[in-house]
Amino acid sequence: MLFEKVTFIGIGLINSSLARVMRRDGLAGHIAACSRTRKTLDKAVELGLADSVTTDPRLAVEGADLVVLGTPLGTYAEIAENMAGGLKPGCIVTDVGSVKECVERDVGPHLPEGVHLVPAHPVAGTENSGPEAGFAELFDGRWCIITPLKKTDPAAVETVCELWRCAGSDIQMMDPVRHDKVLAITSHVPHLIAYTIVGTATELEGDLRDEVIQFSAGGFRDFTRIAASDPTMWRDVFLNNREAVLEMLGRFSEDLVALRRAIRRGEGDTLDEVFTRTREIRRGVIDAKQHIPPKGPNGAKN
């Protein structure tokens, strides 16, 4: 057992998957879940993921050795402020959010002396949301990026690493600013692009829109999957990683303009050259064993 009491603030896809890992491996003596909505908490109990539930963050964290924030980034500051009074000395506060510099900014100032903040980001997910969408294998063979602050107790960092190793993840330590830059291009901009093109399709006239759905197997399908991800979570990612996302989006837009120009002018060689280069990156992804999408809760493809 790694923890006597663990509190999950938010029990959606990621936190509920981590709760399943803890159940499977017996890592926690007691699991408490906190959510704004009663329905989500009822579901968590029904699924056997929580021993106690409450909508009150302060109550939820009382006596916890580990608190895992798994709510949209925009809620962090208020939750940290609300729960601060319930945190016991020595407690580790971690999170699973997709942007990391903002965690220190929003959560750090509220934590009492003796509480350890260890921001983390499991680079894994599906387009599904809610406690029923989670599954214990989600993190298997995926990276978990940990972005500890300089002053953080190494023992607390090691405990969080150990937890993610139990989940099957490989650990990577990283500076939060670097993390946010890397993830802007690997995750945030791809999501924004997918949302954009699916949005473009939703605005087509009725007939054409139906046909877009009908013939989506031509490539569009993959974008609709990405663009089905949780809207609030992603809104907060973009608002909290604005600089890096806008920079990478700028580069992408320049490159797209260049390809548009090549198409307009009928410059086949330019297209050939770019399309050939991109295959190498795919080979890298396959070599790094990151190419297999996760299976859903019942082994079904999402």
Give residues 78-107 in contact with a copy of itself (rule: CB under 8 A). 98
From 2, 59, 166, 185, residue interacting with a copy of itself (rule: CB under 8 A): 185
Residue type, 90: G
**113 or 287, CB closer to a copy of itself?**
287
- Site stretch for a copy of itself (CB under 8 A), options 42-50, 99-107, 112-120, 194-202: 194-202
With 0-12 / 13-18 / 19 or more C-beta atoms within 10 angstroms meaning exposed / middle / buried, residue 200 is exposed
Task: Write b or e for each residue in 154-179: b if 16 or more Cβ atoms lie within 10 A of its Cβ, otherwise e.
Answer: eebbebbbebbebbbbebeebebeeb
Contact status: 130 vs a copy of itself (CB under 8 A): no
**116 or 188, CB closer to a copy of itself?**
188
DSSP assigned state of 69:
E
With 0-12 / 13-18 / 19 or more C-beta atoms within 10 angstroms meaning exposed / middle / buried, residue 130 is middle
Smallest separation (angstroms) from a copy of itself to the CB of 53: 27
Smallest separation (angstroms) from a copy of itself to the CB of 57: 22
- Please, which of residues 217-246 interact with a copy of itself by CB under 8 A? 217-229, 231-232, 234-236, 238-239, 242, 245-246
Q: Binding-site residue total for a copy of itself (CB under 8 A)?
A: 97
**59 or 185, CB closer to a copy of itself?**
185
From 127, 132, 153, 158, residue interacting with a copy of itself (rule: CB under 8 A): 127
User: Which residues face 67 on adjacent strands?
Assistant: 7, 93
Query: According to DSSP H, which parts of 139-241 are helical?
Result: 154-166, 176-183, 189-202, 206-214, 220-226, 231-240
